[in-house]
Each structure stands twice: as structure tokens, then as C-alpha cells.
């Protein structure tokens, strides 16, 4: 944990968040000669990766892309991704002198004098001409509400606090969710649990064969269109389907990945469906995804009636000073890298146009 005195409170640009999106943005700002400060609320380098469960080894990571200017090489695929990527991010910060201020919990961003932004936190207040928000989603796990949730006597937890499979030894577990995390949880837990049940709102779609650049662009375009309309973004993975790799094929063949439709309600001892069927359970694991962590931007009134923030590229349509990187179409690791560069270029134009000095 790094203690620091608040200094340089008046800067050109604030970057909020030091995960893939934030570090990429800071790298491009530095290359453009734009004075900036990076604020991160995590206790140490690693972004959200540092909080991943120990059994998520680096070899299981889905689509990790190197940060700009520095490859991640020689990583042991059997080591926890939380360790591998945290060390990589720490080395990256050091190599490029990014000087991330942490822990800083940004609580609000609001208008200040002379068209500046006030970035507030318990550690102090910064003033900036522009802001890149790179806070991701990890801090906002989505817990859906179903009748009887408060009655269930077993344990309920979310992917955000998933401890790995060992704690489920001998338990009857219901995993809720149709994404990659749900599949990974099921395949691990099934090896030690007494029973697993997979429940999703929609039938899962498995993607067989290669997923090339053309397919990737098409998937990103679907997510981008929602953001352009001011709707809450869907993840890129949600429109690409689940990769049908060897482990998933094994889960389908063994029955671990036999999916049931969403239950009607929870009972004291498990779940019940409208057709009268029931499943007894000791644990409900909600692998139901995350929402963008953007509540601190609320004072700026950026949200559209549809509930999302409408973007043109990375720029908020309602306020040209605000860029969102790692939001919607740039939520993938490679998308965050490209978006960080795009945001830096647009901010340079903004600062030049408004008379702010750029080194």
C-alpha cells in the first residue's frame, strides 16, 4: 500500500483506474507529452486481475493482450493469473514511469471553475481539464433478484468473491449465469462437489472453430452500436458465444454443462421451477456478470434515457472532456489498448483548441 501526499492537484488530465485501460491510456498520454496523474483505488498494481481466484491460472486466461510497448513473455501458464499479471503491470508502471497514486478512491467528478473538472476523493481533490475513466466493472458485481432469495439458508456468493473450487468440496452447488466464468466455475467445482446444476436465462451458444479478426470486428461493432444509442453496454464476449475448447467439450460430454432454464424462485433449501421440479442446494454461485463502475461520474449527468453513456469513439457525447476507456466496445484487453491511444489523441486536440499547454 502506497501512502502519498496530494500534490500536482492542478493537472491537464486525470486517469481514473490503473488496469489495462488505465495503463494503456497513461502510456499514450505520456508519449503525447500531456501532463497527467493516474489514480487507482486498488492497494497495489494489477487492476482487477489481482482479485481473481487462485485456480484461474495464466494458461486459462481468455484473451489477455499485452500492454502497448511491453510484451508479457515467459509467464508460467500454471501460475495464478493474479500473480502473473500483477507483476507484469507493476513492471510496466516502473518501466514507463507512470507513478500511479494509490490507494485513491474517486468518489465524484463534478464541474469546477473555468471549465475544469474537480475529481474528489478522501485523499484530496484534483482539478483537471479532461478525464479518462478506466474503472472497468469488477467493483460492480451484478446480483439479480429472484423471489425467495432471502429465504435460502445456504451460502450465496458471486464470481467477484469466488474462492476457488476447494471450498465447495462435498457441496450441492447451483451455478447461475451463461458466460465464460460460469463455465470455468462449473468445470472446476464439478471435480469436488457432490452435485452441480447449471442454470441460465437463455440457452448458451457455443462457438466452434476459429475466431478471426473479421469476426472480432463484427462482435465489437454490435457492442459499439448499443453504446452509440446510449444503452448500457453488453460485453464483447456476450455476442461472440462460448469457445468450444477441449475442456468445454468434456463438460458437455460428461453432463456437467447440461443447462437448465432459469428457476422460478428459491426456497429455504434450493431452487424451484414453475413445472414443479426442484433442486436441493447448499450454495448458489451467481456468475451473473458485472456493470460499469461509473457512479462517480453521476454529477456530470452523462447518462442517456436508455441508461448508458453515449459515446463517439471514447468521448462522452454530453461532455467532450470525458473519455471512457474499457467501457463497452473497448472492454477487451486489445480494445482497451487501442482506445487508450484514441482518447489521448482526442484529448490533445481538445487541450490545443482550448489553449492548454502540451509539452
Q: How confident is the model at residue 109 (pLDDT cuts 50, 70, 90)?
A: very high
Q: From CA 134, how far away is CA 140, in angstroms rounded?
A: 14
203's CB contacts (< 8 A; 6+ apart) are 259
This prediction has a pTM of 0.89
Nearest to 288 by CA among 165, 65, 64, 137: 137
Tally Cβ neighbours within 10 Å of residue 279.
17
For 167-193, the pLDDT digits (tens) are 999 999 999 999 999 999 999 999 999
**For 194-241, how does the pLDDT look when each residue is reduced to its tens digit (9 = 90+)?**
999 999 999 998 887 655 556 556 666 777 778 878 888 876 666 777
pLDDT > 50? residue 1:
no
Q: Do residues 130 and 321 make contact, with C-beta atoms less than 8 angstroms apart?
A: yes
Amino acid at each position: 500500500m502506497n501512502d502519498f501526499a496530494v500534490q500536482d492537484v492542478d493537472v491537464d488530465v486525470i486517469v481514473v483506474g490503473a488496469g489495462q485501460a488505465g495503463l494503456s491510456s497513461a502510456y499514450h498520454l505520456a508519449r503525447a507529452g500531456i501532463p497527467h496523474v493516474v489514480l487507482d483505488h486498488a492497494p497495489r498494481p494489477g487492476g482487477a486481475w489481482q482479485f481473481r481466484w487462485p485456480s484461474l491460472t495464466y494458461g486459462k486466461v481468455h484473451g489477455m493482450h499485452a500492454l502497448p510497448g511491453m510484451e508479457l513473455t515467459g509467464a508460467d501458464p500454471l501460475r495464478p493469473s493474479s500473480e502473473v499479471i500483477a507483476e507484469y503491470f507493476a513492471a510496466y508502471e516502473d518501466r514507463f514511469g507512470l507513478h500511479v497514486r494509490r490507494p485513491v478512491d474517486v468518489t465524484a467528478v463534478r464541474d469546477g471553475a473555468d471549465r475544469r473538472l474537480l475529481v474528489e476523493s478522501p485523499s484530496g481533490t484534483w482539478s483537471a481539464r479532461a478525464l479518462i475513466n478506466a474503472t472497468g466493472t469488477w467493483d460492480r458485481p451484478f446480483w439479480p433478484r429472484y423471489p425467495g432469495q432471502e429465504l435460502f439458508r445456504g451460502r450465496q456468493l458471486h464470481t467477484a468473491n469466488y474462492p476457488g473450487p476447494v471450498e465447495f468440496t462435498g457441496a450441492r452447488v447451483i451455478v447461475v449465469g451463461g458466460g465464460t466464468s460460469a463455465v470455468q466455475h462449473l468445470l472446476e467445482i464439478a471435480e469436488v462437489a457432490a452435485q452441480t446444476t447449471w442454470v441460465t436465462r437463455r440457452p448458451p451458444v457455443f462457438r466452434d472453430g476459429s475466431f478471426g479478426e473479421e469476426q472480432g470486428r463484427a462482435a465489437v461493432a454490435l457492442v459499439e452500436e448499443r453504446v452509440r444509442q446510449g444503452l448500457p453496454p453488453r460485453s464483447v464476449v456476450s455476442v461472440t458465444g462460448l469457445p468450444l475448447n477441449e475442456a468445454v467439450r468434456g463438460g458437455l460430454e460428461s453432463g456437467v454443462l447440461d443447462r437448465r432454464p432459469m428457476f422460478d424462485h428459491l426456497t429455504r433449501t434450493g431452487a424451484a421451477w414453475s413445472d414443479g421440479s426442484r433442486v436441493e442446494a447448499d450454495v448458489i454461485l451467481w456468475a451473473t456478470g458485472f456493470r460499469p463502475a461509473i457512479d462517480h461520474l453521476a454529477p456530470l449527468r452523462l447518462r442517456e434515457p436508455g441508461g448508458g453513456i453515449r459515446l463517439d469513439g471514447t468521448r462522452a457525447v454530453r461532455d467532450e472532456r470525458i473519455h471512457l476507456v474499457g467501457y463497452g466496445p473497448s472492454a477487451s484487453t486489445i480494445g482497451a489498448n487501442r482506445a487508450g491511444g484514441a482518447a489521448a489523441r482526442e484529448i490533445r486536440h481538445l487541450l490545443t483548441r482550448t489553449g492548454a499547454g502540451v509539452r
